[in-house]
Chains A and B, each alone.
Chain A
Amino acid sequence: MTMESDKNELNKPGKSRRDIIKSLATVPVLGAFAYGYYKKKKFDRNINAAILDDLGMDQGAPKHAVSASSGGKKIRIGIIGYGIRGTQLMKGAGFVHPDWIDSIRRAHEKNPADKRYPEYLEQEDLNIEVNGVCDIFDIRAERALDAAGNVGRKGTEAGREHKAKRYLTYKELLAAPDIDAVIIAAPDHWHGPITIEAARNGKHVYCEKPMTWTVEETYVVREEVKKNNIVFQLGHQGRQTESYFKAREAIQKNLLGDISLIEVTTNRNTPNGAWVYPIHPDASPENIDWKQFIGQAPWHDFSLERFFRWRCWWDYSTGLSGDLLTHEYDAMNQILDLGIPRYASSSGGIYYFKDGRTVPDVLQTVFEFPDKDLSMLYSASLASSKKRGKVIMGHDANMELGQSLTIMADRNSTRYAEKIKDKVIDLSRPIYSYIPGRKNVDAVSSATEQYFAGRGLLYTYRNGRRVDTTHLHIKEWLEAIRSGGKTSCNIDRGFEEAITAHMGTIAYREGRRTEWDADNEKII
């Protein structure tokens, strides 16, 4: 068939009435679509308005405590303890070992989806220099020096430069005139003594949690920090979590009604999660200052296990209470201003990791806050990773917290009774949800979206960048030093954290209910 004959078979583009009617026959479908779309939007808007406006929640992202600038005076830092956490803190501060740059750069080249390398290069420069390092294990001290000298965040190709001085004892480091502030990431039993000494030397302190190892030193730390007027930040980086800001707002707006119970959990199931950390193959009594490690702890002969896995023994550690309960408690203290509980009781045991440890691997601690009419239950297992959330339970609604935040109305709520009856509130869906990185908050985000977010597949970036809360927490501390401002996890919050953790620990170890005598500030 030729083109010619083909054309002849066809009708020419025509404008007859019949042509026009047939051409436009489906246009009314668009009218129906527009009507349906309008109805759907109106329905969603009404639900949103009926719920969110009524709740009075600000629909934007939370205001962040940390401002943008790191200008002004360069702050001179010392790091005490360059183990697992010390390395992470230095990374948050902007100093990493060239080895690590090599490894994340290789990972990025191999798999562009692995963004740790470009993201790390983008991490803000905090305008600090590391002048002193102290670690009692020579190999780690050497690595700390390499990291401190790696100002340009370069890989091993750039060679190593040592800019900081190594100190063999924390006391010598704290006496150094070219150090303004210290980051303390030593084992628990050293937190108190080093902080006290730092305060007496007028050095600002960022200390890892828990604040103290004994009850007694808690009072001294508070006194010395206040007396010497230093800026203190306790290492609960959760203070920088966006969803916690929103949670606090929601509680202040009374979305949950009367809160009677808080449930927080730890759910781990790996040797690393249970503090069975790797032992460095080259570690020996020759390169570890064992005597200094022991410090105020009871004497024990040299033990690599105890040195690298110190969290497993009460001799150096505060167990689950100090390591993990404190994070959960501090989050709730941030959101609810809980303060110190009146009573604590604990139970648990060493049920899975029968490796000679003295601290429990399963622990339940219940704190009572009679003046707030609520209980807080902490429940932990190091031998099951079954996910149990962080839940605040109120008469009108409950709130589940993680990276995101979800508030579900209670079927028997008084406040929402009418809306539930009128089907404005659907009990199977959140009345409020906040996902970090989202531009808007709403009550109608789709199930799929919630699902992705829950799995961390969505919105793990804020303003297009993944956020390292440790970095933000250090930054907040440095800005408080520069501007004389306040830190979010300051000495008063630290005091509350330490006393609360000690109450739980004593309750477990002595098998009794502990009580806080607020008038005399004593645990009885």
Chain B
Amino acid sequence: MSSISKSISYSKGQLSMLVTLRVLIGWHFLYEGFTKLANPDWSSIGFLLDSKGPFAGLFQGLANSPGMLNTVDFLNVYGLIAIGLGLILGALTRPAIIAGIVLLVFYYLSHPPFVGITYAAPTEGKYLWVNKNLIEMIALAVLYVFPTGRIIGLDRLFFGSTEN
């Protein structure tokens, strides 16, 4: 509690970079969510079936159960949109960050960039252990420990400012 609500002081540069990072990650989530929402044929089934690595069975199992698949698709699309809005607007920023990290953990574990694993989907870069999902996940973790929602964001309006 104390660490969350304590007043924080950032330099102007620190604050603007942290907020920029938060908004850009939010943008990325929001656009991923919207493109899926806009495509009536979109489903996570291909992505899940293409899972590799130690947790592949779990993710493929989700794809193979129509009920679970619908739930996963729904949570993914609306989760991405809600997280994206939360990060951009700084609304319920911390829950949005945690949810974002959870999603990215799932993406990472379903498609880990381990030695000897290749995927059907083409990737745009070269990865060994570390990929962009992992980096985005850690960037969100950084935003968790350097919170900005109650300085620049709607959280300030509802929960009060933590600005010093």
Residues of A within 8 A of B (CB): 1, 3, 6, 9-15, 19-20, 22-27, 29-30, 33, 37, 41, 112-113, 115, 438-440, 447-449, 451-453, 455, 457-459, 464
Contact = CB atoms under 8 A, between A and B. Distances in A.
B74 interface: no
A23 B45 contact: no
Given A25-B152, A26-B152, A451-B122, A41 B38 contact: yes
B88 interface: yes
Interface stretch (B97-105, B138-146, B155-163): B155-163
A455 B50 CA distance: 10
Contacts of B121: 448, 451-452
Contacts of B157: 13, 15, 19-20, 23-24
Contacts of A41: 38
The 10 closest A-B pairs by CB, nearest first: A452-B46, A23-B157, A113-B64, A13-B160, A458-B46, A23-B156, A11-B161, A438-B41, A457-B46, A448-B121
Contacts of B154: 23-24
B88 A1 contact: no
Nearest to A435: B41
Chain B binding site: helix, strand, loop or mixed by DSSP?
A: helix
B131 to A, nearest CB: 15
B94 to A, nearest CB: 16
A439 B40 contact: yes
A461 to B, nearest CB: 9
A449 B36 CA distance: 12
Nearest to B123: A448
A464 B64 CA distance: 12
Contact of A37 (B34, B88, B151): B34
Contact of A26 (B1, B41, B153): B153
A451 B7 contact: no
Given A22-B152, A439-B40, 13 more contacts: A6-B2, A22-B156, A22-B163, A23-B90, A23-B152, A26-B89, A26-B90, A33-B31, A113-B61, A440-B40, A440-B41, A452-B46, A457-B45
Interface of B: 1-2, 5-7, 19, 23, 26-27, 30-31, 34, 38, 40-41, 43, 45-47, 49-50, 60-61, 63-66, 85, 88-90, 120-122, 151-163
A37 B27 CA distance: 11
A97 B64 CA distance: 26
A458 B47 CA distance: 9
Contact of A10 (B27, B65, B161): B161
B87 to A, nearest CB: 9
B10 to A, nearest CB: 13
Given A26-B88, A440-B40, A6 B5 contact: yes
15 contacts: A12-B160, A13-B158, A14-B161, A19-B157, A23-B156, A29-B26, A30-B89, A33-B27, A112-B64, A115-B64, A440-B40, A440-B41, A448-B46, A457-B45, A464-B66
A330 B104 CA distance: 49
A10 B30 contact: no
A1 B5 CA distance: 12
B120 A457 contact: yes
A117 B95 CA distance: 42
Contacts of B27: 29, 33
A186 B7 CA distance: 85
Contacts of B161: 10-11, 14, 19, 22
A439 B43 CA distance: 12
A451 to B, nearest CB: 6
Nearest to A115: B64
B23 A10 contact: no
Contacts of B159: 13
Contacts of A447: 122
Given A25-B152, A33-B30, A9 B88 contact: no
B68 to A, nearest CB: 11
B45 A10 contact: no
Contact of A9 (B6, B23, B43, B47): B6
A440 B41 CA distance: 7
A452 B26 CA distance: 27
Contacts of A115: 64
